[in-house]
Amino acid sequence: MAILIKGGEVVTCERSFRADILCLDQTITQIGEEIGPPSGCHVIDAAGALVMPGGVDPHTHLQLPVMDTVVADDFLTGSQAAIAGGTTTFIDFAIPEKGGTLTDALQQWQSWGEASACDYSLHMTIVEWNKKISKEMELLTLKHGITSFKFYLAYKNAIMVNDEELIAGFMRCKEIGALPMVHAENGDLVYIKQQLLKAKGVTGPSGHPISRPSCVEGEATLRAITIAELIKTPLYVAHVSCQEACDAIHAAQTRGLPIIGETLPSYLTLDDSVYQSKDFDFAAGHVMSPPLRPKGHSDRLWQGVTNGELTVISTDHCPFTKEQKRMGTNDFTKIPNGTGTIEDRLAILWHQGVNSGKITPEQFVALTSTNAAKTFNLYPRKGSIQVGADADLLIFDPTKNRTISAATHHQNNDFNLFEGKNIQGSVVHTIVGGRHLFNDGKLLANKGEGRFLSRIKDKC
């Protein structure tokens, strides 16, 4: 069925203009003034609202087995929550078992991804290094369009890589034309801090941020940038949370290095005071890595966003229930790391960023959609409003007020980082592949309607 969006203000990363948009057969087929609806066309009245490219979230963890449990959102519930919040494409991380193959991990994640209600792609995580993995990286890049590989500098004795493995991985990425990504925290320092704290009897969630101070993120960020600079490869730094990391990225970019910085709505909005709560469920519900930082760091991150140092705002969506978080009741190192914001990413950024005058609507589109699509070889198919692009669109009412709550969100967990927060500005309609899947509060997204996206450049 054709869909015609009438009377809205179209907002792209470059400009805003009044236009109608006609969608047919999953793509945008016409953009202009006063488009007449074809016979049988579904018309959406967007008068007084903004029409933007569907959100692209390049950092999610759905259905992930971790710490003897599994993330609360699978590919169905996670994608449905994404759609309800205006995100129409996400990129998840396939994580192989040590001793396993990258191909097996890809097949496992793709099998889970068959349930997705919207389009998705995958990054691949490198958890160890050998000749077989090196060879597989090229196969995944050239055959399957997996053009980005993540390296964890944290989580010692689990998925952390050492510097020798990191260097080899970066060199291989350069050879095959892939983008290396890092979780930048010094895992050795974190591990030592954790053991010292527990020896002193610190067991509650307050120990989490103490064990992972901002300096360990700053050091790891600088180390990864230094290696990338010597190898002459671009680098994507995930979930930047602190001033030290942002400063390192700024210095590198000033030297002309292709370093891409990503941050999250949580780091821009919240601070580490939450870990001092006597309510375990509340404090543990905020446990994520890197942790939330002391007040002041968010000001530096906002500066990085407005100055173009941090060009992507994602979620690192990795939610757990309160019961799952209670696995760490007597040991903060056993609290599953992760939070869920895939549904609220756009609304929070609009409320905190656009309404406050920190960013423009055009910057909002760039940060939540276009920049990620360009970075990960999905543009102009995703992240744009132009003829021939996928009909992934959101209609946003900048005047609509609502209160965020776990009681009403579509995520499959019983905790929300922004519980009780009143916001102005909300997604009212989401179009995914030419299908009207979110209609002013009513979610119509079904299992298996999404597609896996290969990110080979000539296919995008």
Give the start-end residues of each E strand in 268-389.
310-313
- Is the separation of the CB atoms in 413 and 72 below 8 Å? yes
Q: Please list the alpha-helical segments (H only) found in 236-370.
A: 243-254, 265-269, 280-285, 297-307, 322-325, 345-349, 361-365
DSSP string, 99-137: TS-HHHHHHHHHHHHTT-SSEEEEEEEE-S--HHHHHHH
403-434 tens-digit pLDDT: 999 999 999 999 999 999 999 999 999 999 99
pLDDT of residue 79: 98
Strand pairing report for 65-66 and 119-126: unpaired
Question: What is d(CA 109, CA 63) in angstroms, rounded to the nearest whole number?
Answer: 9
- For residue 175, the tally of other CB atoms under 10 A from its CB is 13
pLDDT of residue 456: 85
**What single DSSP character describes residue 160?**
B
148-158 tens-digit pLDDT: 999 999 999 99
Question: What is d(CA 89, CA 368) in angstroms, rounded to the nearest whole number?
Answer: 11
Per-residue pLDDT of the chain (460 residues; tens, 9 = 90+): 899 999 999 999 999 999 999 999 999 999 999 999 999 999 999 999 999 999 999 999 999 999 999 999 999 999 999 999 999 999 999 999 999 999 999 999 999 999 999 999 999 999 999 999 999 999 999 999 999 999 999 999 999 999 999 999 999 999 999 999 999 999 999 999 999 999 999 999 999 999 999 999 999 999 999 999 999 999 999 999 999 999 999 999 999 999 999 999 999 999 999 999 999 999 999 999 999 999 999 999 999 999 999 999 999 999 999 999 999 999 999 999 999 999 999 999 999 999 999 999 999 999 999 999 999 999 999 999 999 999 999 999 999 999 999 999 999 999 999 999 999 999 999 999 999 999 999 999 999 999 999 998 654 3
pLDDT of residue 460: 35
Strand pairing report for 148-152 and 435-439: unpaired
Domains of the chain by residue range: 54-375
Sign of CA dihedral 152, 101, 72, 66: negative
Question: What is d(CA 426, CA 430) in angstroms, rounded to the nearest whole number?
Answer: 11
- Is the separation of the CB atoms in 316 and 239 below 8 Å? yes
- Give, in words, the CATH class of 54-375: alpha beta
Residues in a beta bridge with 431:
393, 436
